[in-house]
Structures are given as structure tokens and as C-alpha cells.
Amino acid sequence: MLVACGSKRDAERRQSDSLLAEALHAADTPLRASLAIAATEVSSCKDLERGLVALQEGSWTGTDLRGLVVEILHRGRSYCDLPETETWAVGAATSLARSLMEEDATRAIAVLDNAPRVAVVLWRRAELNFVLGRDREGREILIDSLSINDDYDVRVRAARLLRNAGELERSLSLTDGRTGDSLAIERIGALAALGRVPDVHREIGSISLHIRHDAAAAAVSSSSNVAELAASPDAGPEMLLALSRSDGIAPSKAAELLRRATTLNPHNAELWIALAEMEEAAGDVRVAIEAWDRAAALAPGAQRPILTPIRLLASVGGGTSALERAAEIRGRARDKNTSESLHLASLASRYAGDHAMAVTLAKEALALRPGEGRLQSELAHRLEEAKRIPEASKVLAKLLVCGSRGRPWHRHEVAARLVALLDEDALLARLSTVPCEAVEPEDLRRHLPKTTLAPWPEETRPPTVD
């Protein structure tokens, strides 16, 4: 029961109905019911109780019913002693608004008109205004909500919205005297948009190292004068890196900025990688290889700084040097004798153009971890590159049927590769010879393109589990 009163209501309703109850009985949509609650004359708590009874007798359910009950209880605060409504009215009203949001944001806003003026209601109103394209109204509602509940995430969002709208001083004011990574980034973005270059560099130098890249990127994207940011002697390595990635910058100019950055911080592998990429883009392969080598020394576990110089040497006719580097990596890998080191050596041989050695090393890596699906897939790639298609299809067929360590492994991808390598008859023949009983044929078949193969012929079915 929604209220204590209301017994014998079927017999007494027409005599005791208030105008509100009559309006609710007549309402056939949540919007009309909501408008009835807001607009109908109410003179006593009894009128509201009868309205609750009318809702109970109606066809309302779920969030619709809950939201309408909340609206009645909220309106009844001036007539009735309902102290408990504040604790749950907000959730119900906003739930109803959310349920209507996709259907009609205007109706959803109307639902919230009678909800208590608390932060969560204002947040929902702001969200609905954004849905309707009323960005300015949404921003102002979010800012207004901070006077009720100074929520950190809302403050960050409001500062960002103001910055994007060009209201830079207001955006900056929301960050004044505040701490936290996200607000620091918004503050630096606003300072950059205002052209306060010395302040930008000072703020970046004062914040945590782990957010300096993001802060510098925000400054570059917001700045009204990127050239001034770059020309400043106070620009740190993070700012120079962000500037090198700005839209429209020429590779040679980016490389110049990154050379400054590596001078300021020569122990940062990310800066050397960025410099190597820009030098390559600018056409200076020799300098790019030197930068890659510096990055490899600083990050010995990373693959790209080891492999990319081999690719570059091979691409410019330095095949002998590329093969020599690959041979050095191969020697170290075989001394270490781990699957990962041998896999890296296989890739090095591939980039050097020695596909036969790449296959040999891929097999050695797989021999150490024969159930590893990734290594099986890599071996198939090396075999394909060496034009050894029958062997590649055999590896892929086993991976498709048997999976990795007895479990499915990227079967859609493996099936697509098989279909690309073999025609229908060859594919069926290959699958029928796989010595594995890990899966049922019908379970396997759903991973193959439906239009490619007819139902399994009995004579070519893969083995089944007894």
C-alpha cells in the first residue's frame, strides 16, 4: 500500500476524489500525470493522499510509478509531515527522467521541475540540456550545482566546457586554489589559451611528472600561439614532445624540437623513439638509426628500438648490415634460450630479409612452449612469408581445431587466414587430418564463414570426442 487510507475506496472514490485524483485517473501518459501533479489545485494533505491512491489504482509500474509518487510527496512537503521524502525522492525523480531521456529529453526535464533542488537533480538537468543542444544552459546548471555539492569531477567538466566555449577567465577561476591532476591540466589549458606562456611553463614544471605529458598536450591543443610556446627557453621536454606532435608540423621542425628535448633529458627512451620517428619521416635514415639505438640502450626490453633499425637498413640497401644485426640478436637469443628471445630473433631475421632463418627461429621458440597459441600463429606468419603455404596451413589448422593449451584461441581470425590460404577442398582435407580431439566439429564449424563450406561430409569430418 502507498498510504494507510483508501480502504473501501472503490465504493467511495467518486464521493471523495480530489481534483488531483480525478486528473490522475484521467492521465494516460507519464507526462500528463506529471503535469497533473504540478498544475492541479491542492488544498490539503488529504488531497495528496487521494492522489497516491489514484496512482496505486492506475496502471503505472516501475520507474514511472516511483517518479510520480515522488512528485506527489515532494509537492506535499508544504501540507504534510513527510521528512523521509528527501532521502529517496531524488533517486526516483532522476530515474524517471533517465527512463524518458532517449524518448523525449524535454519531457524528462519537466519531470525534474518538482524534484528537490539538490546536486544530482541539477546534474541530470544539465545532461538533458546537453542532449537538447542547449550547451550554455547545461554549463550554467553544472556550475550552479557546485554551490550545493562541490564535486571534483563536475568541477573539472565545467572548467573544460568553459574553456572549450572560450570563457577562459571563468574556466581559470574554477581551478584557482584547487589541487588534483585533472584540474591542473584544465588550468594549464586555459592559461595557454589566454597566451600566458610563462605561466604555462611554470605550472607544467610544478605538477607531477606523470601528468606533464597530458598537461603539455592540453596546452598545445588550446594555445593561441604555438610558436611562442616552442620559442620559449623555459619549454621543458614534455612541452617540446607535445609540440612535435601538434597538427600540421613538418617532420624536420618536429625533429628539431625533439633534439632539444633529448638534450634536456637524454635518459628518456620515449623522447629518443619520437626523435627516431621524426628523423625517419624527414628522410634522414642514418640519424634515425642512431636515435633508435639510443632508445634501445635505455629500454633493452622493448622490441621496436631493436627491430626498426634492421628494417631501415634493409630498406635502404644495407642488407649486409641488417643481416649482421640479426645474427647478433640470434646469437644472444640462442645463448639465452627462451621463447621470447628466440621470437625476437625470428622477427629480426624477418626484417633483415632472411625468411628461412626466421622460420627456423620461430620453430625453436615454439619448441620451448608448444602449447602457446601466439607462437603458433607467429610461426604460421613466418611460413606464409617464406611462401611455404602447406606448412603454414597445417599449423593454422591445428591451432583452429585444437586451440591453445586445449582451449579456443582467436578462432575467427585463424579461420579467416585459413580460408584465404586454401580453397574449399584443400581446407576440408587439411582439417580432416588434424590429430586433435579437443573440440566437437559443430562447435568448430561456427567459426568458419557460413557461405564458404557445405555441411561436413562424413568422410572429411575432423575426429570427434567419444
* Ranges of each domain in the chain: 1-115, 390-466
Query: CA-to-CA distance for 8 and 81, rounded, in angstroms?
Result: 25
Average pLDDT over residues 114-127: 79
pLDDT at 301: 85
Tell me what pLDDT residue 441 has.
56
Averaged confidence pLDDT in the chain: 82
**Strand runs (DSSP E) across 241-355, as ranges?**
none
Indicate the SS3 state at residue 281.
Answer: helix
pLDDT (tens digit per residue) in 182-237 = 999 999 999 999 999 999 999 998 999 889 999 999 999 999 888 898 899 999 99
* pLDDT of the residue at 440: 56
State how far the Cα of 351 lies from the Cα of 334, in Å rounded to an integer: 18
pTM (global) more than 0.95? no
For residue 407, the cross-strand partners are: 404
User: What are the residues facing 404 on neighbouring strands?
Assistant: 407
CA atoms within 13 A of residue 296's CA, in its CB half-sphere: 16
Residue found by looking up cell 517518479 in the block: 67
Q: Output the CA angle 182-187-188, nearest 5 degrees.
A: 100
Look up residue 415 and give its three cell numbers.
579461420
DSSP 427-454: HHHHHHT----SS-HHHHHTTS-TTT-P
Q: Which three cell numbers stand for residue 363?
A: 620453430
Q: What is the mean pLDDT of residues 23-38?
A: 80
Q: What does the pLDDT look like over 250-271, one tens digit per residue?
A: 999 999 999 999 999 999 999 9
Q: Distance between CA atoms of 444 and 427, rounded to whole angstroms?
A: 13
